[in-house]
A = this chain, B = another copy of it.
Amino acid sequence: MKFSVLILGNSSATPIYERHPTAQVVNHNEQLFLIDCGEGTQMQLSRYGIKSNRINHIFISHLHGDHYLGLVGLISSMHLVGRKTDLHIYGPAALQEILAVNFKYSETELRYNLVFHPTNPEESEVIFEGNCISVRTFPLRHRIACTGFRFQELPRPAKLNMEKVQQLQIPGPLLNGIKWGLDFTDLSGNVHRSDELTSPAPKSRSYAYCSDTVRIPDYLPFIQGADLLYHESTFLHEMSDRAVETFHTTALEAGEIAAESSVGKLLLGHYSARYKTKELVLLQDEARTAFSNAHLSVEGHWYDVD
């Protein structure tokens, strides 16, 4: 089952040519989610061949422009190309006011239903639960209220060993229970344990997203053990004072956070415009001193969650 993340933008507040403000697409089993929507997101979606109307859920971390200024344009374009499906937006309550004032003066009446879900900046909560994935917010600490997101696959059933099922002539109605861990007792009273009749369920994978935040221990439980962590790394650690002052994280800190949280892989992003693209490798080198499986995120690349 596909689970991967496309980076549309990994620049911090001041974009530079070919480094766009924050946005990424999560593809889970061909269901597309958008995380943040910086200016130019709709053009980046078009560039990388993603039809915007395949996206039904958009998650906005906070109300700094580089994380949401593409939203009005994207919503408008979805309208112009004839969208009918509901669009769910999860973000700070005030985002609804920002959207409303834009649509008021452009006299836009959307042809589809925009369902707004205000997020709670104080407490972690599950804000989306689908058939096979859930999304949980958790508070980050930035200059203004900001949440991270954790995409967590729901537990999946074990896979039946069909040879044994046929051999024991297990009735069909019992099979689902067995896949979910129930034991089977045959007519002779012999108990066949679920794990003898199945091969283990695939591991439930998870993706955690942390941007923007200063380093605090509070959110570590929520990213614990994620297979893939995207963590902002705006600065090199030589600028740690600036990072604290602007409520951002250094590459070294991102690496340490990844190590402390036992994640599988770390993706760096939200790079300061002061670093030229060829210098970004310094951020990666620095993060790797604390966590070897750290990688620069690159715009236009898909990263598997596994």
Binding site for B on A (CB under 8 A): 13-17, 20-21, 39-40, 42-43, 46-47, 63-66, 69-70, 72-73, 76-77, 80-81, 92, 94-95, 97-98, 101-102, 104-107, 143-144
Contacts and interface: CB of A to CB of B under 8 A. Distances in A.
Contact of A39 (B40, B46, B64, B97): B40
Nearest to A13: B80
A20 B77 CA distance: 13
Contacts of A105: 63, 92, 94-95, 97-98, 144
25 contacts: A13-B76, A14-B81, A15-B42, A15-B73, A16-B43, A17-B43, A17-B47, A20-B43, A21-B73, A39-B39, A39-B73, A64-B106, A65-B72, A65-B76, A65-B102, A66-B73, A66-B76, A69-B102, A94-B104, A94-B105, A95-B105, A98-B102, A106-B144, A107-B143, A107-B144
A97 B106 CA distance: 13
A18 to B, nearest CB: 8
Nearest to A64: B106
A102 B40 CA distance: 17
Contact of A46 (B16, B47, B102): B16
A77 B63 CA distance: 15
A15 B77 contact: yes
Contact of A72 (B14, B69, B143): B69
The 7 closest A-B pairs by CB, nearest first: A17-B46, A40-B40, A63-B105, A94-B105, A17-B47, A39-B73, A14-B77
Contacts of A15: 42-43, 46, 73, 77
B106 A65 contact: yes
